[in-house]
Amino acid sequence: MLNETKEILKSYYGIDDNTLKFSDEVLEDISDQFENIKRVREYNQYKVLKAMQECRLSDNHFNWTTGYGYNDIGREKVEEIYSKVFGCEDSIVRPIIVNGTHALTLCLQGILRPGDELLSVTSKPYDTLEGVIGIREEKGSLKEFGVTYSQVDFLSSGDIDFDGIKEKINDKTKMVFIQRSKGYSWRKSLTISDIEKVVKFVKNIKEDVIVMVDNCYGEFIETKEPTEVGVDIMAGSLIKNPGGGLALTGGYIAGRKDLIELISYRLTTPGIGKECGLTFGTTRNVLQGFFMAPYIVSQALMGAIFCARSFEKLGYEVLPKFDDKRCDIIQIVKLNNEEEVIAFCQGTQSAAPVDSYVKPVPWAMPGYDSEVIMAAGAFVQGSSIELSSDAPIKPPYNVYFQGGLTFDHSKMGTLKAIEYIKKLGQ
Ligand SMILES: *Cc1c(COP(=O)(O)O)cnc(C)c1O
């Protein structure tokens, strides 16, 4: 580390000598993990570059059309490149998909019909999907349209319950649903090889069952994506991994051509599908972000590992551990009490480039059964590929730490969190 760096860390950022020394030790501990991440990143970078070259991406794809948006070559190019990188037949990548939940909902509503059953094999899906499915009563849910829901929980070991899946698959089961990332629950995330096992297992029981993956936070963590190991359809958000911090909004859906067609009839109307719809000048940012994504994801991963090792060393329980195989960019740290949770989030907020002077406090957010605290300070509102942390204010006092467009910045987030927690004891 340069003397200039030490100086600015001390004089401006308030990181004391002990924490600096500690940080160096942490870096040493995690150097092997970093090497692995760099190897995956390199492959994914060349995979994306190859797709852009093979699709003959050109300057004129960054223009945009008006009105109906027929023959929007920029929009078509974005979707062609996504399909190629994700190794699938077709995709929908649009700014009019407002978030990840919307992308996932379009898949469910586009494919499922009255009388069909949806089977989640990774316990309860992400919070926002509960209302969509009808686990929580909501107007317009799948339940209201006669689609039933069933679920297989993880075993107490944290593994997938294959026997349970076999029991639950029946004549009505149209779709098997997998959530790749842990989201906001204390559980393992799934590796690509885990996902491949589920695909083989369920198709062996019922050949025509459709396997869908909630791919949020998973893109570019490994060298393959779910659609490259037999998954029929997957979806995610552009303000997470694949947007590379540059996409300003949007979501994507990727998979089998026949399913993309069905989904496109939900996106617009039956018969029109994905032939219409403007991109509003977003294709440049979306593609530049996609180009940057393998690198940005590697930075977020390195930041998560730094956070994991740091808090492990300080005596806290963390998930995943610093040397566990990573399946998403989320790091969970189990803190001791409310004060530590608040200090952690205020620390990461104080490291932000935007709104660093703001002090986040717990508040009663609709849809949550306890107060939550959220630290952000992002260039793109709500972006969670940028550094952020959040936590419900209740035992077991888990805080979720994710993102960071550069490792150095993410590291600062952890160092600040440590300093803020240290101050509590003084
Ligand atoms: C972020 C996320 C979603 C979608 O969330 P949005 O806020 O609607 O983009 C869905 N599933 C998982 C696992 C997620 O992490």
**CATH value at residue 333:** 3.90.1150.60
pLDDT for residue 369: 76
**Do 295 and 268 share a domain, yes or no?**
no
DSSP 364-396: --TT-SS-EEEE---SSTT-SSSSEEEEESSTT
Does one domain contain both 275 and 313? no
- Residue 141 Cβ inside 6 Å of ligand 1? The answer reads no
> Tens digits of per-residue pLDDT, 123-173?
999 989 999 999 999 999 999 999 999 999 999 999 999 999 999 999 999
Phi, psi of 235 (to 5 degrees): -150, 160
Mean pLDDT of the chain: 96
Q: Give the residue whose CA is nearest to atom 9 of ligand 1.
A: 100
What CA–CA distance (Å, rounded) separates 201 from 204? 5
Residue 226, pLDDT > 80, answer yes
Q: Are the beta carbons of 211 and 230 closer than 8 angstroms? A: yes
Query: Which of 101, 132, 328 to mutate for ligand 1's pocket (most ligand atoms within 8 Å of CB)?
Result: 101
What is the number of structural domains in the chain? Answer: 2
**214 CA closest ligand 1 atom index:** 11
Average pLDDT over residues 372-395: 95
Average pLDDT over residues 42-66: 97
Cα–Cα nearest to 226, from 190, 192, 175: 192
128 lines ligand 1 (CB under 6 A): yes
Q: Would you say residue 367 has pLDDT above 70?
A: no
Residue 48 lies in a domain: no
- Domain hosting residue 207, numbered range: 64-290
Whether residue 282 sits in one domain with residue 298: no
pTM of structure: 0.96
Average pLDDT over residues 365-391: 91
Strands 117-120 and 148-151: parallel
- Pairwise pLDDT comparison (366 vs 27), residue with the higher score: 27
Task: Assign 185 a pLDDT band (cuts: 50, 70, 90).
Answer: confident
Task: Calculate the alpha carbon distances from 220 to 86, 121, 187, 215, 329 in Å.
Answer: 10, 23, 20, 10, 10
- 10 Å Cβ neighbour count for 344? 28
Cβ neighbours of residue 173 under 8 Å, at least 6 residues apart?
116, 117, 119, 150, 206, 209
Give the closest residue (by CA) to ligand 1 atom 2.
216
Identify which of 126, 213, 238, 384 to mutate to test ligand 1's pocket (most ligand atoms within 8 A of the CB).
Answer: 126
Res 232 pLDDT > 70: yes
Q: Are residues 299 and 273 in the same domain?
A: no
Structural domain ending residue among the three candidates 261, 290, 319: 290
Structure confidence at residue 137 (pLDDT): 92
- Determine the distance separating the centroid of ligand 1 and the alpha carbon of 54, expressed in angstroms: 31
pLDDT tops 70 at residue 103: yes
Which CATH number does the domain housing residue 118 bear? Answer: 3.40.640.10
Q: What is the pLDDT of residue 317?
A: 97
Look at residue 296 in the predicted model and tell me its pLDDT: 98
Q: What percent of the chain has pLDDT over 90?
A: 95
Please say whether the beta carbons of 115 and 170 come within 8 A. Answer: no
183 within ligand 1 shell (Cβ under 6 A): yes
